[in-house]
Chain A
Amino acid sequence: MEEEITGTPFEDLPDEAKVGVEEDEVTTFPHLVYKEFLCALAVLILFILLSVFFRAPLEEMADPSLTPNPSKAPWYFVGLQELLVYFDPWIAGVMIPLLIIVGLMLIPYLDTNPDGVEEYTFRKRKLAIITFTVGLALWFILIAIGYYMRGLHWQLYWPWESREMVKNSAEGLRSLPLYGGIVFLSIYFGLGIYLPARLKRGLLEEVGRARYVILMLLFLLMAGVVIKIVLRLTLNVKYILTTPWFNI
């Protein structure tokens, strides 16, 4: 069977047929096409089996007067819903998703490292891989917490706790005063952008000024999400910056 599929081996071809052909180059048919075919077959079988044995969820008919507690977004947005605990809706529901999309789109233009193309490597691009993995993990951890651990009134329930038990959210939350918030954010973004360029000689020249600032800004914003979560959980900080128009 194997011979029939592969036909004349490349090595057995006359030399004049090999001109201009790369060493590990193979014809798409059959080498790639048969893999695609088998893969498609496996996926189709899997989904037919799934559909026969697992019924798609369907609850009672929609009733605008009967709000479930808690109401949850579709699973892929539950991470953003979970962020509502720590941020106002205009940040959790608008700015963060926008920044994620823009940030993802900018990756190829910000990452100037030419190494590690078409290979799995950690050594050649450590910082890029750590950053991306942390972001990806954050997205799925938030989804997992929101989906599996949030109960009545979006309170945190451990798997062994009864979901019937009502929990109180009355905790003494406090915010930084206006000047405190301005100082905190100025230091955070100012030092965050200034220090790495200062400490690592040649970094600015290597990456380019505009690219460096955008890169650090996105980096600090992503880290800022984690910092705000930690500040809220440890020091009960509600807002870092309080203004008459918006709060952060």
Chain B
Amino acid sequence: MAKFRDWITGTQVWKSIVRHGYPDTRTNRMLTILSNFFLHVHPVTVNERYIRVRHSWCMGGISFLLYIILVVTGILLMFYYRPTIEFAYQDIKDLHFSVAYGDILRNMHRWAGHAMVFTVAAHMAIVFYTGAYKPPREFNWVVGVLLLFLTLFLSFTGYLLPWDQLSYWAVTVGTSMIKAFPLLGSEGPFSRLDGESDIGFLFVGGRTIGQSTLLRFYVLHVAFLPFLISVVMLVHFWRVRKDGKLTKKL
């Protein structure tokens, strides 16, 4: 077995992919992180205290994992879902009752979405309680708050898509508040705009929620917001590294 292993790891193919020796020495362990595209977001060494589960509760990492689960299940759901008031609800029903594993697919997207709202909030609370936002990492906290906002917005736009009573009226409640925006909303203080030119109309695409709302929320949910949150997330991760203090003892 050991001979077979040595032969495999000695081939030109293996060496062209894994560009370091067996990671049992400090050098090779550092190379493991440095020479792997996916691992190199990490620093090569970390302070032992900060990687204890009881320090971070893995909440930032879990939020990211849930985001990946949501992207994967979300893309698969897009194969079956049509954002029209004629088909949307029926397509969700089909997912539950006739698409193979469609039930599990939708359930996972739903539960992971709810869970992500919770884990992002929990991550924020933990970062607060460990004082990890303090200099020099102030700005990354701001980026993090932006990510919390984008997470809520993503969840909210996704909420409408099943087009059932629950989603329709929940989004009605949510969007009705936008009309109360001071100056910009038709029902807010100091309003000069009517119901067909205010910020609520822009957001919903009509006086009430309808086909245009469904399409708007769909495009926001599957293209615009995922793109935006991905970019902001990269900034967030990059700054975790660049702002430093992960290795040094304080």
- Residues of A in contact with B (beta carbons under 8 Å apart): 7-8, 10, 13, 17, 21-33, 35-36, 39-40, 43-44, 47-48, 50-52, 54-64, 66-68, 71-77, 80-81, 88-90, 92-95, 101, 104-105, 107-109, 111, 114-121, 125, 129, 132, 136, 245-246
Contact = CB atoms under 8 A, between A and B. Distances in A.
Using C-beta atoms within 8 Å of the partner chain, give the interface range for chain B: 35 or more
Contacts of A32: 42, 46, 51
Contacts of B145: 101, 104-105
Max chain B Cβ within 10 angstroms of own Cβ: one of A10, A24, A29, A67: A29
Max chain A Cβ within 10 angstroms of own Cβ: one of B25, B145, B179, B187: B145
B181 interface: yes
B134 A27 contact: no
A94 B191 CA distance: 14
A25 B174 contact: no
B134 A111 contact: yes
Contact of A29 (B32, B49, B65): B32
Nearest to A121: B131
Interface of B: 23-26, 29-30, 32-33, 39, 42-51, 53, 55, 58, 61-62, 65-66, 69, 85, 89, 92-93, 96, 103-112, 114-115, 117, 124-125, 128-135, 137-139, 141-142, 145-146, 148-149, 152, 155-156, 159, 162-170, 172-174, 176-182, 185, 187-190, 208-210, 245, 247-250
A59 B165 contact: yes
A13 B165 CA distance: 65
Nearest to A81: B173
Contacts, number: 252
Given A25-B45, A35-B51, A136-B125, 18 more contacts: A22-B47, A27-B26, A28-B33, A28-B42, A29-B33, A35-B58, A47-B115, A48-B108, A56-B111, A59-B164, A62-B164, A63-B168, A89-B187, A94-B185, A105-B146, A117-B132, A118-B130, A118-B245
Contact of B25 (A7, A58, A245): A7
Max chain B Cβ within 10 angstroms of own Cβ: one of A62, A63, A246: A62
Nearest to B151: A76
Closest 6 CB pairs of A and B: A93-B177, A108-B138, A7-B24, A89-B180, A62-B168, A56-B110
15 contacts: A25-B47, A26-B48, A26-B51, A29-B29, A29-B33, A43-B65, A47-B108, A58-B96, A71-B173, A93-B178, A101-B145, A108-B142, A111-B133, A116-B130, A245-B190
B180 A24 contact: no
A49 B112 CA distance: 12
